[in-house]
Amino acid sequence: MKKGIFIILVIIAIVLLGNSAYTVDSREHAIVTRFGEVQKVIVKPSNYDTVINTISSSERYLSVSVSTKVGLHFKVPFIEHVEKFENRLITYKTAPRQVTTFDKKILILSNNAQWQIVDPLLFRVTMKNTNQASLRLDDILYSEINVQVGKTDAHTLIADKVYIEAMSEQIVQDVNKEMIKYGIEVIDNRILKTDLHESNILNIYARMEAERKQKAQQYRSEGEEEKLKIISGADKDAAIMISEAQKEAEILKGEGDALAAQIYSQAYSADPEFYEFYRTLEMYKSTLTGTTMVIDESSPLFKYLFQ
Amino acid sequence: MNSFIPIIILMVVISVVSSIFKGAANGKENPFSAFMNREKVREYDEQGNPVNKSKRPSLGKFPKKTVIFVIIILLAVSAVSGSFYTLDQSEQALIFRFGAHRATVSTSGLNFKIPFIETVEFVNTEEVRRIEYGFRSEFDTSANISEFSNQYYSDVMSEKVMLTSDENLVEVEVIVQYKVIDPEAYLLNVNDPRGTLELAAYSRIRRVVANHNLDNILTLNKAVMQQEMLEDIQEIANKYGLGVLIIAVQLQDVDPPSAVSAAFTDVASAREDKEKYINEANQYFNKVIPEARAQKEMLLNEAEAYKTVRVNQAEGDVSRFVQILERYQEATAITRTRMYLEAMGEILPGMDVYIVDGDNITMLPVKGATISDPNAVVGATANQ
């Protein structure tokens, strides 16, 4: 019988040990509660000070002990319970939401944020779980985004990267003022997607098409313009070239005539009377052939014909 | 301290098991046989004496020793197999003892760990991983899409269509390639590293596209945009402590929206048209200008020729005149008469000559007058 009791004791010991031992992962915060009252917080080293501050801020938490040691731990079996929370960055993504900009345009924004439980004690007391935290974050983030978007023109919201970065930064700061009460810190908030309202998209397509047509027309007209420029330029150059050539040609011819005249006059001035006679005869030779002439019989030409 | 606890537990387990084993060896002291004995007490024979027979003879027939031995062997085997793990060359392993990250192992091959107490998570730090945005590539092993692969792509329109800075829409497909360079950061800092990186990449891709206007996106700025995206994504990854290195961001298809692609194609052909018109004009230019040049040369040559001809002619004429003049001055009257007559002799044969007598109208056709000319005939007759 003694052996039997020993065995039972061993079994009880194993069960108690099993309920007493728990492990905390490096990626978790853990909270040990006794009948709902927080006894112990196991926290990431970087968040240790935050928890210490929270504890010293309120008398409610006087009995809470803080540790940064992960791994195997022991608690009072059955009486104490362990709750664990993610200590890494948690991704949060909103459903697309309609916002109105300063210039009264409607845009559809999707956001994503990264947040982290920096104070598991506050988080445990105020939030219970991450789903509830997401809901709360959603409320606050959306209202902050609305505040900022309401101050911003649609075009800035779409295109101005620097402005948006600053705006996101501002939203994070404002959201954190609220979220820190819940032991949460938002690390980053980004506009994941900026979309236009369905009805605007067709307008954009129409505008894009019109713009393209304009552009196409511009290219073609520019082409025509260039073509005309080149052709008329060529015509102009050709006309100038030819007229210059004609001018030069006339000058040359004139020079030729002048030279000839000079040569002639130099020679002929030796005996102008003979020149006249000589040239007249030459002229007769070249012009009179094929014409009709009536000559008086007293003409010296016929003085021997009618003796 | 940490390493003592598992050893203590291991010892507790071993002592419990060995006490059971001992009990089995001693028969009576075995806790299980104690149970057996209690059952046996209730059985009696005809005489009312208790019978020393098992109610379950089948179990009794099994040697308890063997059963326990087998259990221990199984435990030992699983302990041994749980103490080793193999680490691929491309991987690093994070060792967690009771959940606490204890070490990161990068020596590949067979490695040891404490069974049951330590767990291992592997991260591939060599593999180039990829995020697709705007499309997904999938493998279909049942159908052969092409000769070489059965990979096919499907568009994700909700991702693909993006706003540009000039509030146009553009369809963009992007691939982000990355590698985990810090496995501790990758596993310990973010609860969903892959999903987080995807979101970061998506938001940066859209932001960078929204920072450029449509024409730049479609033509010039691809390399610039890729670099910008890469830097932005890396910056966020660092901010989140993801422990990844963005290797490359590659813009795949970047197209105008399919709804207006015809208009875009027309712009391209308009640009071609422009070139065509200019080429036509240049062709004309190349025809007209050389022609004009040729004509210029021609005109100048003609004029040059005229000038030279005139001068030569003049000189020739003059030299002839001068020579004749010399003779003329020697014998003026004779030469003059001779010249006159020679000239007449040359001229008259080519003319119709009428000789008249005083005021009479009688004419004598010297040459060339025909019978059909009544005046000529009548004139001649009247004269005779």
Which residues, at least 6 apart from B106, have a Cβ–Cβ distance to it below 8 Å? B87, B92, B93
**What pLDDT, in 10s, does the model give residues A138-176?**
889 889 999 999 999 988 888 888 898 899 999 999 999
| pLDDT higher than threshold 50 for residue B35 | no
What is the chain B residue with the closest CA to A238? B292
| pLDDT higher than threshold 90 for residue B245 | yes
Tokens of B324: 């004749």
How many CB pairs lie under 8 A apart between chains A and B?
318
The confidence score (pLDDT) of residue A268 equals: 82
- How far out from the chain centre does Cα A70 lie? 47
Partner-chain contact B31 A253, CB within 8 Å: no
Please list every residue in chain B whose beta carbon sits closer than 8 Å to the beta carbon of residue A293.
351-354
CB contact burial A42-62 (16+ within 10 A = b; e otherwise): bbbeebeebbeebbeeeeebe
Tokens of A289: 């052939």
The confidence score (pLDDT) of residue B293 equals: 93
B311: nearest CB among A238, A263, A298: A263
- The C-alpha of B135 sits at a distance from chain A's nearest C-alpha, in angstroms, of 16
Please list every residue in chain A whose beta carbon sits closer than 8 Å to the beta carbon of residue B14.
none
Partner-chain contact A205 B276, CB within 8 Å: no
The confidence score (pLDDT) of residue B166 equals: 87
- How far out from the chain centre does Cα A36 lie? 54
Partner-chain contact A288 B311, CB within 8 Å: no
Partner-chain contact B275 A259, CB within 8 Å: no
B165: nearest CB among A69, A159, A253: A159
Interface probe with B: pick from A242, A266, A279, A298, most Cβ of B within 10 Å: A242
- Beta-carbon-side half-sphere exposure of residue A4 (alpha carbons within 13 Å): 9
Partner-chain contact B356 A91, CB within 8 Å: no
- How far out from the chain centre does Cα A80 lie? 57
- The ipTM, to two decimals, is 0.73
Residues A205-231, mean pLDDT to the nearest whole number: 92
Structure-model confidence comparison of residues B384 and B123, the more confident one: B123
Structure-model confidence comparison of residues B156 and A237, the more confident one: A237
The confidence score (pLDDT) of residue B11 equals: 59
Greatest CA span in chain A, whole angstroms? 201
- The C-alpha of B146 sits at a distance from chain A's nearest C-alpha, in angstroms, of 35
A252: nearest CB among B241, B269, B304: B304
What is the chain B residue with the closest CA to A156? B165
CB contact burial B115-137 (16+ within 10 A = b; e otherwise): bebbeeebbebeeeeebbbbbee
| pLDDT higher than threshold 50 for residue B372 | no
The confidence score (pLDDT) of residue B39 equals: 47
Q: How far apart are CA B237 and CA B367, in angstroms?
A: 124
Partner-chain contact A7 B31, CB within 8 Å: yes
Strand ranges, E, within chain B: 84-87, 91-97, 100-105, 109-112, 118-124, 129-133, 135-139, 151-155, 161-163, 169-180, 244-255, 352-356, 363-365
Structure-model confidence comparison of residues A256 and A287, the more confident one: A256
The confidence score (pLDDT) of residue B384 equals: 35
The confidence score (pLDDT) of residue B157 equals: 82
What is the chain A residue with the closest CA to B101? A26
Partner-chain contact A249 B350, CB within 8 Å: no
Partner-chain contact B167 A158, CB within 8 Å: yes
- CA B22 → CA A13, B48, B98, B194, distances in Å? 21, 34, 32, 54
Q: Sorting pLDDT into bands at 50, 70 and 90, what band is B2?
A: very low
Q: Sorting pLDDT into bands at 50, 70 and 90, what band is A237?
A: very high
